[in-house]
């Protein structure tokens, strides 16, 4: 089988290896598609490092081709599946309280991290969820990013009747828009790129506002919410201004969710008295629990969230470098790798 290895920043190598054989309690999955997430982009450009050489990739779909004799679940050869590749120990306080996204052992040394830029992958039964054959495998590769948005909306306590501001209309911002709409939320999205705002409206956002002039933006948003402000705001862009502006349009008691990660460690640009007087709730959202992942899989399987318009390009595995460059270009939404020739 062929796998794509990142051996140092900006250096991808395609290696031919033996296809692994699953042990009794494992499965072998033939990978169909894998999305190129922000994490893979940061690993590629060297902004983040896990270990070298590493096979990147964590947004994967595929087909089960072998099932170990001691696998307890009902998954069988031929099933279409999506992979949940985070490591969860199932026994630490975070895992036991339903927050396995924060598993304290998830980065423990010696474990494989990522690994789906490959034609085959051995996984544990709890790392696969079966999807219906009708769900195209390229769209199924969004199960992981969508699950992160679902967690984020849960952390923001967004629900039917609420108005939510999604700050940033990149792939993750627009996936938030889609998930929020499916939950009955009124969605206002903001960005500084007109084409992305147009795309947000085409995808069903209730309002798409240009954030270039922050005063105009704040005034417009206040009038859209009868002066009250939004129930919650989700930050999907690493611009610090976005948080500053969000604090000005958050309704009393509102929740501000820092969804994005940052390359550095910026300080919250909100004065503490404003937080105190308005009872603002400030949270972050990191990854997804298995509960969020399962919700995502069901929403995609039921057609309640449709993501075909977020697939910008699909590259074959041997063009992985071009694919990552395209993802980094800023001109695309999700770029996928297709493993099969
Ligand atoms: Zn991802
Ligand atoms: Zn754990």
Give residue 39 CA to ligand 1 midpoint distance, Å.
Answer: 7
Task: Check whether residue 132 and residue 168 sit in a common domain.
Answer: no
**Pairing of β 207-210 and β 186-191:** parallel
Give tens-digit pLDDT for 154-170. 999 999 999 999 999 99
Give residue 102 CA to ligand 2 midpoint distance, Å.
Answer: 7
Which of the ligands is closest to the CA of residue 334? Answer: 1
* The pLDDT value given to residue 263: 85
Which of the ligands is closest to the CA of residue 104? Answer: 2
Show Cβ contacts of residue 138 under 8 Å, excluding neighbours closer than 6 positions.
Answer: 32, 33, 61, 311, 314, 336, 338
Average of pLDDT values for 132-143? 98
Domain of residue 332, residue span:
2-142+307-338
Residue 294 lies in a domain: no
Other C-beta atoms within 10 Å of 14: how many? 14
Task: Check whether residue 317 and residue 193 sit in a common domain.
Answer: no
Average of pLDDT values for 272-294? 97
Average predicted confidence (pLDDT) for the chain: 96
Contact 155, 257 (CB under 8 A): yes
Give residue 290 CA to ligand 2 midpoint distance, Å.
Answer: 12
* The pLDDT value given to residue 309: 98
Task: Check whether residue 93 and residue 189 sit in a common domain.
Answer: no
Give residue 145 CA to ligand 1 midpoint distance, Å.
Answer: 5
Task: Check whether residue 94 and residue 173 sit in a common domain.
Answer: no
Task: Check whether residue 161 and residue 93 sit in a common domain.
Answer: no
Task: Check whether residue 318 and residue 258 sit in a common domain.
Answer: no
Give residue 204 CA to ligand 1 midpoint distance, Å.
Answer: 23
Give residue 216 CA to ligand 1 midpoint distance, Å.
Answer: 33
- In which band, very low, low, confident or very high, does the pLDDT at 112 lie, cut at 50, 70 and 90? confident
Distance of CA 78 to the CA centre of its chain: 26
Please give the tally of structural domains in the chain: 2
Give residue 141 CA to ligand 1 midpoint distance, Å.
Answer: 10
Give residue 267 CA to ligand 2 midpoint distance, Å.
Answer: 29
What is the CATH number for 161?
Answer: 3.40.50.720
Q: Is the pLDDT of residue 251 over 80?
A: yes
Residue 299 lies in a domain: no
* The pLDDT value given to residue 164: 98
Which of the ligands is closest to the CA of residue 145? Answer: 1
Task: Check whether residue 121 and residue 163 sit in a common domain.
Answer: no
Q: Which of 330, 165, 154, 172 is nearest to 242 (CA)?
A: 165
Which of the ligands is closest to the CA of residue 94? Answer: 2
CA atoms within 13 A on the CB side of 150: 24
Task: Check whether residue 204 and residue 251 sit in a common domain.
Answer: yes
* The pLDDT value given to residue 339: 96
* The pLDDT value given to residue 224: 97
- In which band, very low, low, confident or very high, does the pLDDT at 184 lie, cut at 50, 70 and 90? very high
Contact 9, 300 (CB under 8 A): no
Average of pLDDT values for 181-190? 98
What is the CATH number for 39?
Answer: 3.90.180.10
Which of the ligands is closest to the CA of residue 289? Answer: 2
Give residue 248 CA to ligand 2 midpoint distance, Å.
Answer: 37
Give residue 328 CA to ligand 1 midpoint distance, Å.
Answer: 14
Task: Check whether residue 187 and residue 242 sit in a common domain.
Answer: yes
Average of pLDDT values for 126-146? 98
* The pLDDT value given to residue 237: 96
Give residue 236 CA to ligand 2 midpoint distance, Å.
Answer: 26
Task: Check whether residue 224 and residue 317 sit in a common domain.
Answer: no
Give residue 73 CA to ligand 2 midpoint distance, Å.
Answer: 21
Residue 83 lies in a domain: yes
Residue 181 lies in a domain: yes
Residue 169 lies in a domain: yes
- In which band, very low, low, confident or very high, does the pLDDT at 27 lie, cut at 50, 70 and 90? very high
Residue 293 lies in a domain: no
Residue 300 lies in a domain: no
- In which band, very low, low, confident or very high, does the pLDDT at 108 lie, cut at 50, 70 and 90? confident
Residue 265 lies in a domain: yes
Task: Check whether residue 160 and residue 138 sit in a common domain.
Answer: no
* The pLDDT value given to residue 19: 97
- In which band, very low, low, confident or very high, does the pLDDT at 109 lie, cut at 50, 70 and 90? confident
Task: Check whether residue 137 and residue 8 sit in a common domain.
Answer: yes
Contact 103, 158 (CB under 8 A): no
């Amino acid at each position: 089988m062929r796998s794509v290895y990142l051996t140092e920043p900006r250096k991808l190598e395609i290696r031919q290896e033996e296809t692994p054989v699953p042990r009794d309690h494992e499965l072998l999955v033939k990978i169909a598609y894998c999305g190129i997430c922000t994490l893979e982009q940061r690993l590629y450009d060297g902004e983040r490092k896990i270990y070298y050489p590493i096979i990147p990739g964590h947004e994967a779909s595929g087909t089960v081709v072998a099932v170990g004799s001691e696998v307890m679940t009902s998954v069988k050869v031929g099933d279409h599946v999506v992979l949940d590749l985070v490591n969860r120990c199932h026994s630490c306080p975070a895992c036991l309280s339903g927050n396995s996204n924060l598993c304290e052992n998830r980065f423990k040394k010696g474990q494989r991290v990522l690994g789906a830029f490959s034609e085959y992958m051995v996984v544990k039964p709890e790392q696969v969820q079966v999807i219906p054959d009708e769900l195209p495998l390229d769209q199924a590769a969004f199960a992981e990013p969508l699950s992160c948005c679902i967690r984020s909306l849960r952390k923001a306590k967004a629900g039917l009747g609420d108005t939510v501001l999604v700050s940033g209309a990149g792939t993750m911002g627009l996936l938030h828009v889609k998930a929020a709409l499916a939950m009955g939320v009124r969605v206002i999205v903001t960005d500084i790129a007109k084409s992305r705002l147009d795309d947000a409206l085409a995808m069903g956002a209730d309002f798409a506002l240009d954030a270039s002039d922050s005063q105009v933006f704040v005034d417009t948003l206040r009038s859209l919410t009868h002066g009250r402000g939004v129930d919650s705001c989700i930050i999907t862009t690493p611009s610090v201004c976005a948080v500053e502006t969000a604090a000005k349009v958050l309704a009393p008691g509102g929740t501000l969710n820092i969804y994005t990660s940052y390359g550095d460690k910026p300080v919250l640009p909100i004065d503490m008295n404003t937080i105190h007087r308005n009872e603002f709730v400030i949270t972050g959202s990191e990854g997804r629990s298995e509960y969020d992942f399962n919700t995502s899989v069901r929403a995609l399987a039921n057609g309640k969230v449709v993501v075909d318009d977020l697939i910008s390009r699909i590259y074959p595995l041997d063009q992985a470098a071009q694919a990552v460059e395209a993802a980094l270009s800023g001109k695309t939404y999700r770029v996928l790798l297709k493993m099969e020739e």
